[in-house]
Structure 1
Amino acid sequence: MAQSDFAEAGADLELVGITKRFPGFTAIDELDLLIPAGSFFALLGPSGCGKTTTLRLVAGLEEPTSGRILIGGKDVTGTKSFKRPVNTVFQSYALFPHMSVLENVAFGLRRRGISDAAGKAHEALRLVELDHLAARKPQQLSGGQQQRVALARAVVNRPALLLLDEPLGALDLKLRRQMQLELKSIQSEVGLTFLHVTHDQEEAMTMADTVAVMNKGRIEQMGAPEELYELPKTAFVANFLGQSNLFTGDVTSSEKASIIVDVGGVKIEVPTSRAQRHTGEVTIGVRPEKLMLYTSAPTATPGVNVLGPGRVTDVSFSGVSTQYLVAVPGLGVITVFAQNMEFGPVAHIGEEIWMSWKVEHGFGLADEPGIVPRFSADTDTATIATQRRHQLLAEIEEG
């Protein structure tokens, strides 16, 4: 199906100085954002960061305390939700159980008196590959099929902007990954502007052209998924978008190509081009999958950082890779992801090992001195795991 046969082009979305205050706290603080027409944009962040409030403001379900909302260049700040060129797909699907799939998709068109509502509904169902189930009731469909019906119902109204509010949260892992690819394909085909709100980092990176990581009502960093992952600018982004090993120390040397940071007596080199700050106390990092494990001290090589010896405190098999936690006196617990190229772990709990990574894989953060270089998860399990690691490290240092 050609795009012109079905959906109109999307419109850009612009938020200008948006602030939203509730009694006792500020949910969004002076937010400026421009989402180009036809793009797949993801707002990513933990619970309470302001992402869902932002979506509700765009949908017209909340009013901003201050600022303006423009869709396609038109100010819609004071426009009622039902008059905005916006549709929303929720996690709960919200399908009418007494109506058939076709009737659900055609419902909005018929209410607006659009001609050939059934024909347009069939087109939308063909887009999501469910036209053969048009006569069924929602309860006769799987969760993934219901989600696609909800998507067809939203897209058939030809909104300039489609809002996705944690749309895949209720699906199991395998189906969620399948739907991620399908949503991306549909967005590419119909050409609408998609604004996707999620706390799932993998979901955001899989589907979106651009990801904005939100924290406490502000955007910490925005860019292509690869850029945010490979070159995070703050500790929050580094630890929310994947995992990171972060070290804080003083810059002892700053050359044209790289800086040298003293971390607990260990010299770690980072490319100048990948460091946000080049003097004073800085926090630097490296992703766990960039590290290599060795059971004996590796030979010093230019362009390679080496840590160790350390002791393995935990080994966790996850299928594709194995996670190792390595306690290094003076540096803390280092996380290493090793791809499972052979049967069995590379190292076992209690073993002494060394780690290395290429200098070009490191990064330096913009955080000022005194910023805690770890993302604090708000779950009891994460707290317990952290306490366990500190206990193991203390035992190793004492022994």
Structure 2
Amino acid sequence: MNTNTAEPSIKQVELPRSEGADLHLKGITKRFAEFIAVKDLDLTVPSGTFFALLGPSGCGKSTTLRMIAGLEAPSEGEISIGGKDVTALPSHQREVNTVFQSYALFPHMTVLENVAFGLKRKKDKQAMEKARAGLDMVELAHLANRRPEQLSGGQQQRVALARALVNRPQVLLLDEPLGALDMKLRRQMQMELKSIQTEVGLTFIHVTHDQEEAMTMADVVAVMNEGRIEQMGAPRDLYELPKTAFVANFLGKSNLMRGTVTGERDGLLEVAASGHKILVAVDRAVQHEGEIVVGVRPEKLHLNHEAPTEATGYNELSGEVIDVSFTGTTTEYLIDVAGIGRIGTFAQNRGQQAAEVGNTVYLSWDSAHSFGLAGDELVNAGVDKT
């Protein structure tokens, strides 16, 4: 058993796989007086999926989780788990368990008693045996007789997780469960939560505002904004091909440029943007005529000190460096491009010549990395203004 002060890793023990359940939300709306927190939400989460609800504070993600848990009643709509309508069922009659950011451990009970609590309420004759197995799963069996206040934050989080898992719910709900942990431990727990979910086979619904956390752990991510799902899919798909400006800006950073479609050739849209011609693949654009918004991720851009001597087949822009930020592994640049505005990019620090404020530089990127959004999109939607 690991007795080091560092947080131990999850043991690779043989665990019986649970049968998770499909989760269906149909037409879910939640009103608080005049405020609508969730608006006509339809959602299906297949059994055994690690699903993340991602969005800024106030977007409706925690309210959605509380309705699934039975802690809030929807104003309209239906919720079913495993084909059973649970909309009107109280929380204790639903096959769900919730792990909160606060852990909600009982301070007067030992760690083992905390894990066994739910099983004892169900009068499970094997409550203590199952609780010990749960602690063994998260490698905390050696702390079974301690009180919660004697544990670190990471250890308390593991106890809360074990307590939820030993009840073998059909759906496990995670409400910002890693928010109270420091960065290093949070990243470790991200990997371990995913490992546990894969082992036990449960349906996990994870609510978070942390983009990296959702992208690292989830099979499917739903980005919420103002009570609605803006876009849903695999993390890579959402990042590489956002469908709205909010998703493009909330999941990482994006350079968004307004332009007008002037033609189409060889599967590419030609877009005029303040005197610049930008190409975007037809199948990577949600709109194919009129004014559109073209985007490209900062890391897709190549920064050069010299102008290309011949046509490269890439999109090309030039501008003046107005800001340089050294971040360790990379150097981030902000370039002012005439007519378009500020474009951000970064370069890996590999000993190459760095650009300086005031330098004229040349940017290029493959049209396969452009994406096209609707012309009525607000280019600052989803930008963190803090």
Map of 1:171-190 to 2, 5 A cutoff? 171-190=181-200
Aligned partner of 1:271: which letter? Answer: A
Q: Which residue, 26, 32, 35 being the options, matches 2:36? A: 26
> Does 2:371 align with 1:355?
no
Which structure has the highest helix share of the two? 1
Show the counterpart of 2:7: none
CA distance in 2 between partners of 1:92 and 1:337 (Å): 37
Give the corresponding residue for 2:349.
Answer: 340
Letter paired with 1:359: S
Look up the match of 1:327: 336
Letter paired with 1:347: A
1:216 aligns with 2:231: no
| Paired amino acid for 1:197 | V
State the shift of 1:255 in Å: 2.1
The equivalent residue for 1:372 is 378
Aligned partners of 1:256 and 1:272 also within 8 Å: no
More divergent stretch after superposition (200-209 vs 296-305): 296-305
Deviation string, structure 1 residues 38-68 (Cα, Å, up to 9, x no partner): 0000001111111111001001111111100
- Name the SS of the counterpart of 1:183 in structure 2: helix
TM-score scaled by length of structure 2: 0.94
Rounded to whole Å, the distance in 2 between the matches of 1:291 and 1:228 is 19
Q: Which amino acid aligns with 2:55?
A: G
| Residue in 2 that maps onto 1:123 | 133
- For residues 91-139 of structure 1, what are the alpha-carbon distances to aligned partners after superposition, in whole Å with 9 as ceiling and x for unaligned? 0111112221111101111122101211101111111121122122212
Query: 1:56 pairs with 36, 61, 66, which one?
Result: 66
CA distance in 1, matches of 2:309, 2:64: 52
The equivalences for 1:209-248 within 5 A come to 209-248=219-258
The one-letter code sitting in structure 2 at the alignment partner of 1:371 is E
Q: What's the CA shift for 1:300?
A: 3.9
Q: Which amino acid aligns with 1:331?
A: I
Q: Is the 8 A contact 2:296 2:370 kept in 1?
A: yes
How far the C-alpha of 1:301 sits from its partner, in A, is 3.4
CA RMSD of aligned residues (A): 1.4
Shift of 1:70: 0.2
Instruction: Name the structure 1 match of 2:51.
Output: 41
Cα distance in 1 for partners of 2:363, 2:313 equals 14
Closer, same or farther: CA 376–204 of 1 in aligned 2, 3 Å: closer
Map 1:1-399 → 2, pairs under 5 A: 1-4=13-16, 7-308=17-318, 310-342=319-351, 346-365=354-373, 367=374, 369-377=375-383, 379=385, 381=386
User: Alignment partner of 2:306: what SS?
Assistant: coil
Map Cα deviations across residues 275-313 of structure 1 (whole Å, 9 max, x no partner): 1111111111000011111112123434311110x1112
Q: Which amino acid aligns with 1:119?
A: E
State the alpha-carbon separation in 1 of the partners of residues 88 and 338 from structure 2: 59
Partner of 2:270, secondary structure, is strand
- 8 Å contact from structure 2 (residues 250, 382) kept in 1: no
Contact 2:292/2:376 (<8 A) preserved = no
Shift of 1:256: 3.9
Q: Letter of the 2:376 partner, please give it.
A: G
Contact 2:249-2:383 within 8 A present in 1 as well: no
For the 8 Å contact 1:19–1:30, the answer to whether it is kept is yes
Letter in 2 for 1:245: N
More displaced stretch, 184-193 vs 348-357? 348-357
Work out the CA distance in 1 between the residues paired with 2:277 and 2:219: 37
Which piece of structure 1 moves more, 350-359 or 40-49?
Answer: 350-359
- Aligned counterparts of 1:217 and 1:48: Cα–Cα separation in 2: 8
Number of residue-to-residue matches in the alignment: 374
5+ residue gaps, structure 1: 382-399
Query: Secondary structure of 1:221's match?
Result: strand
Of 331-340 and 177-186, deviating more is 331-340
Equivalent AA in structure 1 for residue 283 of structure 2: S
In structure 2, the CA distance between the partners of 1:260 and 1:103, relative to structure 1 (3 Å rule), is same
